[in-house]
Structure 1
Amino acid sequence: MDTYTPIPDIDKKIDIIDHVNQDHTEELLAIAKSHLSQIKSLHEATIVSASVLDVFQEGMDIIVHLNTTLQSTKIFVPFEIEGELEDKILYQAYASIVQQGRDFSGAGKHFFKIIDKQKITTNMVRLTIESTTELPAYYPGYAYAFLLKTLKKRPHSGTLKANKKHWSKKLFDHIFVSLMKHLSSKNRQKLLQSANKDVRLYTLRKSWKKDKNARFHNQGYIDIFTHGKTPGSQWANELSAGDIIMSRSEAKDKHPHLSNGQALLIADETAYPAMAGILEHWLNPLPPYIIIISESEDEQSYFENKDLLVADQVHRVICPPEIQSTRILAIIRQITDIDVVWAAFESESAKTVRHYLRNQRQIAGKNNHTKAYWNLKSKRGTADDL
């Protein structure tokens, strides 16, 4: 029986396992599919689901559910590169997706025309957009990875959603993965940052049909919190009606765990659109505890719809980002019952709160979705690297 080297930092290991299982199911399925294809007895099986069971220095155990059996199959996926744990898993995902002839940067490009722009708080910009491809009918926390550039002319309708991968893109992806494998961890991070330096994730607040004859939801709101002179903020502030903006991929938040039990929701300004959507579609019979954070009191007007809030369970926190975790933990310690959590705010603060909920309140795994939406050190949109 093989013996593998355990990860000494247990909290870091669990953070990574939870993050991959909660937010990167497509990448995980690609890894599982790539590995199963090498096992002769299983290469024709269809994977129903996959999840990380454990992670070691040398690789990770993945539990795979197949269509050919009611039982699960555990496979060990060895890492192919040296470096940080995040790098090892990221490389496996990229290499598997490229091997399967897919585009690891996302499902394809989407184009949106801006038909209106307004400020709904001092720093929250709302873009009303129109798409010639289908928007989600409604999904709280659905986000697009926007390229920080604009087009002044609507692309031809045939190019509005590019699914077929050009040969040059395939070649670039293979070169990119090859570089990742041979670079040092430090230089690998520089390469990834360079590839993503002009991309930001912004949330689709809601969508609707332009008129009753529309075949699908083709208009919506994109709400963007602008802060300082960050590239994303400057891009959003310079946009105007008539501009065409483009996303290269999309992702939907995971929150079915909130349907039962006593929930806690936490959001700072960057996560307001996602939390507002969750509240509008609240199905749990128990109202949630809510912590709304902002650096300026003016931003709290985003949640002026009192129907979404139960007054005695809402805590409004005004503080600088550096002390988010201190203020949040002071409130959480006063809440007796917490079963499930959805939270999104600054990276280091999110880590502190996530570890407290896991280690002190025993809220872990699929019930503890406390995530980073941005990093104070870099002030870049999302801190999510995978």
Structure 2
Amino acid sequence: MTHSTSSANPTSYAQANAYTPLNFPELASAITHINEEHYDELLGFLTAFTSLSSEDMDEASVQLVDIYAEAIALQIQYKGTKKTSAQAHNPTFFIAFTAPITQFSDLNTQYILLKQQADKKLGKKTIKLTKQTFLVQDSYKVSPNMLRLELTGSTLDVSNKNSVPVDEAGYAYLFDLAHNASASQNVGDKASPTRAHCYYTLRKAWQTSDGVRAWVDVFLHGDTPGGHWASSLQIGDTVMSKREFPEKTAHLQDGQALLIADETSMPTVARLLELWDNPIPPLVLCVTQELADQAYFDAVKIGTDKKNGDKTRQSTECQTDNNFMLLPLVAGKIHSGKELAVLIDQTLANYLTNHPLQIEKVWGALEAGTAKALRGLIQQRLGLERSDSVIKVYWRKD
């Protein structure tokens, strides 16, 4: 994709008339979602497709202000004492799509294409629109409400675009739930799912003498399409994925980290711990509805699979056999929203009162309403830069 001069430089609002407005009713919520959940990607677009340098963005923030048929509009908002007269009007940059949007469903495709191209320019891992097929070898519980699917799949050859990663935490696959429902229509033992696709995290993958083995851990919570899909799978079934998504954890490589997980993100945190390559072990705040599910971390050892094979040093703050401090929070019926965010913040505050850690980095993944409320609470409590505190949405209450 090429960008015109006008799209790579700040443009006045009047010049926006060159772009076609969109009137989709879903557009406002999409813009809000991108600003809240994909801020780092917006920064990536500016870095990849404009002449802005990292120094230009040091004391600035970016906001998606509009989406046109041909482009997205990103506004730079400068702050601090270095703001110049040229920056006074918060310049807007237009980043062109590969092809114009004609219906709302096109937005997802065009946004992914932008991200793929920006990541390539920046040398980052990105979304893969790749179909893969896995074979179910086993299925069993690893905690009362966590089901492990043991799969065999593609190759570990890093030169192969369909490779299964062994050294990434939080690598997610978009599984095609309808594939299994359709395959069993003839025997009539499964109904078509109300949701056709669902993301699940690759807990771990490794090479064996007869191929690649992978774990995908699925939290069984209530009456959900994904839970029914996972529970119904039998040894010998195939499962298909349609998209792959790498997690953003690079900021955790140094400094005292706090990891915040609920049942849906425990697989990511478990793999993060096994691959931990930071000399300071993290504090792990784990939120579960039931106490018994906290046992998920009992078998996890920090740094066991890190690339260089070195042992992570013992921290004076961490007194568990696993060499990381697990701070359990059993929330019971409080499983989402602002109420849970406040409970997490209070639990952290109580811990820090008695264990005065200086937390420098945060990674977490929770329900959408919880994540949104918790971001503000964590910012207020820890005062971190946005790039040092990543709190993701892994599921939505509806």
TM normalised by structure 1 equals 0.64
Asked if 2 retains the 8 angstrom alpha-carbon contact of 1:17 and 1:52, the reply is no
Higher helix share: 1
Residue by residue over 1:191-233, the C-alpha shift from the partner in whole angstroms, topping out at 9 and shown as x without a partner, is: xxxxx9311111111111121xx6xx62111111111111110
Match of 2:327 in 1: 315
Match of 2:166 in 1: 137
Within a 5 Å distance, the mapping from 1:1-386 to structure 2 comes to 2-3=12-13, 16-17=34-35, 19-22=37-40, 53-57=62-66, 59-61=72-74, 75-77=93-95, 90=108, 92-93=110-111, 106-133=128-155, 134-150=163-179, 197-211=195-209, 218-305=212-299, 307-308=301-302, 310-311=319-320, 313-319=325-331, 320-322=334-336, 323-334=339-350, 335=352, 336=356, 337-376=358-397, 378=398
Distance 1:239 1:87, change over 3 A: closer
Residue by residue over 1:114-137, the C-alpha shift from the partner in whole angstroms, topping out at 9 and shown as x without a partner, is: 011111111111111011343112
Specify the SS of the correspondent of 1:234. helix
Identity among equivalent pairs (%): 28
Residue by residue over 1:236-287, the C-alpha shift from the partner in whole angstroms, topping out at 9 and shown as x without a partner, is: 1100100000000111111010111111101010111100000111111112
Asked if 2 retains the 8 angstrom alpha-carbon contact of 1:143 and 1:203, the reply is yes
Q: Which runs of 5+ in 1 are unaligned?
A: 6-11, 37-41, 43-49, 64-73, 155-195, 379-386
Instruction: Give the Cα separation in 2 of the matches to 1:138 and 1:57.
Output: 37
Asked if 2 retains the 8 angstrom alpha-carbon contact of 1:52 and 1:60, the reply is no
Match of 2:159 in 1: none
**Which residue identity does 2:208 align to in structure 1?**
K
- Larger mean Cα displacement after TM superposition, 280-289 or 139-148: 280-289
**Which residue identity does 1:328 align to in structure 2?**
I
Asked if 2 retains the 8 angstrom alpha-carbon contact of 1:131 and 1:219, the reply is yes
Specify the SS of the correspondent of 1:209. strand
Asked if 2 retains the 8 angstrom alpha-carbon contact of 1:62 and 1:77, the reply is no
Specify the SS of the correspondent of 2:150. strand
TM normalised by structure 2 equals 0.63
- Larger mean Cα displacement after TM superposition, 341-350 or 325-334: 325-334
Instruction: Give the Cα separation in 2 of the matches to 1:256 and 1:249.
Output: 21
Deviation (angstroms), 1:55 = 2.7
Distance 1:373 1:88, change over 3 A: same
- Larger mean Cα displacement after TM superposition, 256-265 or 50-59: 50-59
Distance 1:361 1:89, change over 3 A: farther
Distance 1:268 1:239, change over 3 A: same
Specify the SS of the correspondent of 1:321. coil
Instruction: Give the Cα separation in 1 of the matches to 2:148 and 2:102.
Output: 43
Specify the SS of the correspondent of 1:333. helix
**Which residue identity does 1:2 align to in structure 2?**
S
Deviation (angstroms), 1:303 = 0.8
Asked if 2 retains the 8 angstrom alpha-carbon contact of 1:119 and 1:126, the reply is yes
Instruction: Give the Cα separation in 1 of the matches to 2:290 and 2:298.
Output: 15
Q: Which runs of 5+ in 2 are unaligned?
A: 1-10, 17-29, 52-56, 77-91, 118-125, 156-162, 184-193, 303-317
Asked if 1 retains the 8 angstrom alpha-carbon contact of 2:127 and 2:245, the reply is no
Specify the SS of the correspondent of 2:234. coil
Instruction: Give the Cα separation in 2 of the matches to 1:369 and 1:21.
Output: 10
Specify the SS of the correspondent of 1:115. strand
Asked if 1 retains the 8 angstrom alpha-carbon contact of 2:284 and 2:325, the reply is yes
Distance 1:252 1:306, change over 3 A: closer
Asked if 1 retains the 8 angstrom alpha-carbon contact of 2:127 and 2:244, the reply is no
Distance 1:18 1:98, change over 3 A: closer
Instruction: Give the Cα separation in 2 of the matches to 1:329 and 1:98.
Output: 35
Distance 1:24 1:197, change over 3 A: farther
Deviation (angstroms), 1:61 = 3.1
Instruction: Give the Cα separation in 1 of the matches to 2:152 and 2:388.
Output: 35
